[in-house]
Amino acid sequence: MRLVMRGGTIVDEEGLRPADVAIEGETITEIGDVAPAVDDRVIDCRGRYVLPGFVDTHSHADGFVEDDSVQESLLKQGVTTAIAGQDGVSYAPGDGSYASEYFAAINGAHPGYSGGGVAAYLASVDGRSRLNFAYLVPAGTVRWEVCGRSRTPADQAQQAAMGRLVEEGMREGAVGLSTGLDYVPGLFASTEEIATLCEPVAAAGGVYVTHMRGGYEANSAAGVEEIVRISALSGARVHISHFHAEAHIVREQLEALSRSGVDATFDAYPYTRGCTLLAMPLLPPELSALPTDAVVGIISDSAERARLRREWFPAVERNASLGPEWPSMITLAHIAAPDFAWAHGLTLESAAVRAGTDAIDLALDLLAASRLQVNAVMAVRHERSDAELGRIFSHPAHMGGSDGIFIGAHPHPRARGTFARYLRQFVRETPIWSWPEAVRHLSAAPAARFGLGRRGRVAPGWVADLIVVDPEVVADTAAYERPLGDAVGIDDVVVAGEPVLADGKLLDSTPGRGLRREPGGE
């Protein structure tokens, strides 16, 4: 029995053309005028576009591979593959305990992973999800496995041990290595240490994916300079995570990478504000490196609070991305302590007024009560317009990435809106992409870059990860004020030839898999 997608307009990098699509098993077998047989399943695509499924190049859905609501949100945006293991912290290798502790407010706990490395993580996806997941070996987790909580540079033996873990992860199917150089323990890693870990990545044809050191924006040059050195020492290709800065800075730094001979791409999402752990900007790094119990004890102590107020928080005010008005720039997205549920969606400033305290004491109260499990939407001092974002997205090295975090009562809307917002805002309303260009940025180029096999095209012999888009309707509904709305206009999705979303409703089939890197790609 075949699946026939009938009467739609196919869109891929080659253009738009009316045609039917016939699928047998997981593979597209025919494009053209396909007459369905009596026992064929048919999806009526009239008036809609058939596109290759999107690849979210920066996802924090790592632990949600079996979560129906998360899968639904992703599929309704057209995402059929998410790349997990981001920012240097995730479950594998090891038993997942560090990620479940330090990154609990970002990735959460994985219900099906308790050890076994990259191979086990990818196996935890096979047949248990409606969409695919690829995986980056997280360098911070690797460092944790070898160096523990050490803040000193790794010695030669430790670097060799870490390199072996990365090599094993690449052999088991990882698509690259990730670093999070503003997070613990990645911020303690030297440039040379990272370059050593990138050597097996380069040898395997993978990609070095980095949350750069130093906070992006006006500081981007420093992060890019480090990338140049890492690539020169290791030979690795590079992908920069969530490269957000003024458009001229992004373009200037990409030109600098090109001049230095670095093969670089990047992702950027269609929003200005960010989202991160509340502890990252508000606690000293050496404090964040301690066990959670120790941190909670310290920030609960009145004398220690006075010291932090005196010695640390002036540095928070000097932070170029925040400044003295930082309490008004931080919106509380996830607070694990039920007693503070009332504060979700409020800025620290507003919540402090309601609590009858100040922002410093409230922030420390939230972190202590939640055992550090708090994340927040971070405003920027100068919001960028859609025109400014369009100048970034029009760069040929750009790829789609949401940085989507699904944990929180009032999360960043990027988790549920990113890809539909790309299509609504930047294809239909103020177009900087044609439909074929959207396919290149959101599907074809990422699939090739990360070695995802025969995905990213609508052509015979390619895997049938396909979405059906109403070009006049597709839109995001999530917004900063109402962040939980799912996208509209993508109601039918096929993964590996199996319908997983039909007429806007989830089906029971789970054909998703952990994608192992395939040779070739770009």
Torsion of CA 306, 311, 312, 316, to 10 degrees: 110
Average pLDDT over the chain reads 96
Nearest one of 269, 273, 276 to 418, comparing CA atoms: 269
CA 92 to the chain's CA centroid? 16
pLDDT tens-place string over residues 21-72:
999 999 999 999 999 999 999 999 999 999 999 999 999 999 999 999 999 9
Does residue 258 carry a pLDDT above 60? yes
Asked if residue 133 has pLDDT above 90, the reply is: yes
Q: Encode pLDDT of 194-221 as tens digits.
A: 999 999 999 999 999 999 998 788 889 9
Contact present, 12 and 49 (Cβ < 8 Å): no
Q: What pLDDT is recorded for position 318? A: 85
> Helices (H) and strands (E) in the chain — how many of each?
20, 22
Three-class SS of residue 86? helix
Q: Residue 501: what pLDDT?
A: 98
Query: Hey, where are the domains in the chain?
Result: 52-272+383-506, 276-378
Task: For residues 397 and 419, give the distance between their C-alpha atoms in angstroms, rounded to a whole number.
Answer: 17
Task: Tell which residue, 109, 169, 111, has the closest CA to residue 142.
Answer: 169
Q: Grade residue 118 by pLDDT with cuts at 50, 70 and 90.
A: very high
Give the C-alpha separation, 294 to 230, whole Å. 34
In the predicted model, what is the mean pLDDT of residues 92-101? 93
For residue 76, the number of C-alpha atoms closer than 13 Å in the C-beta half-sphere is 25
383-396 pLDDT per residue, tens? 889 999 999 999 99
Residues 6 or more apart whose CB falls under 8 angstroms from that of 377 comprise 273, 274, 275, 330, 331, 333, 410, 411, 412, 480
Residues facing residue 20 across a β-bridge: 32
Give every strand in the sheet of 274-277, ordered side by side. Answer: 274-277, 374-378, 330-335
Cβ within 8 Å of residue 508, ≥6 positions away: none
Nearest to 351 by CA among 331, 381, 375: 331
Task: Provide the 10 A C-beta neighbour count for residue 519.
Answer: 8
Q: Does the CA dihedral 166-167-173-179 come out positive or negative?
A: positive
Fold of 52-272+383-506: TIM Barrel (3.20.20)
pLDDT single digits (tens) 334-374: 999 999 999 999 999 999 999 999 999 999 999 999 999 99
Q: What is the pTM of this model?
A: 0.97
Q: Which residue has the higher pLDDT, 380 or 116?
A: 116
pLDDT for 449 beyond 60: yes
CA separation, residue 55 to residues 146, 298, 401, 456 (Å): 32, 42, 8, 9
Please compute Rg for the chain using Cα positions.
22
Pick the closest to residue 405 from 80, 66, 142, 84 (CA basis): 84
Counting residues of the chain whose pLDDT is more than 90, the rounded percentage is 94
**Mean pLDDT of the 277-301 span:** 96
Q: What is the pLDDT of residues 165-187, one digit of tens each?
A: 999 999 999 999 999 999 999 99
Read off the pLDDT of each residue in 136-162 and give the average, rounded to a whole number: 96
Mean pLDDT over 458-485 rounds to: 98
Q: How confident is the model at residue 109 (pLDDT cuts 50, 70, 90)?
A: confident
User: Residue 520: what pLDDT?
Assistant: 55
pLDDT value, residue 319: 79
pLDDT at 521: 46
For the stretch 226-243, pLDDT in tens is 999 999 999 999 999 999
**26 contact partners, CB below 8 Å, separation of at least 6:** 463, 464, 496, 497, 498, 511
Residue 522 has pLDDT above 70, yes or no: no
- The Cα–Cα gap between 102 and 105 comes to 8
pLDDT value at residue 324 = 87
- Digit-coded pLDDT (tens) for 492-506: 999 999 999 999 999
- Give the long-range contacts of residues 218-227, CB within 8 A, separation 24 or more: 218/245, 218/249, 218/320, 219/320, 220/245, 220/249, 220/250, 220/253, 221/253, 221/256, 223/181, 224/253, 224/256, 224/257, 226/181, 226/191, 227/257, 227/262, 227/264
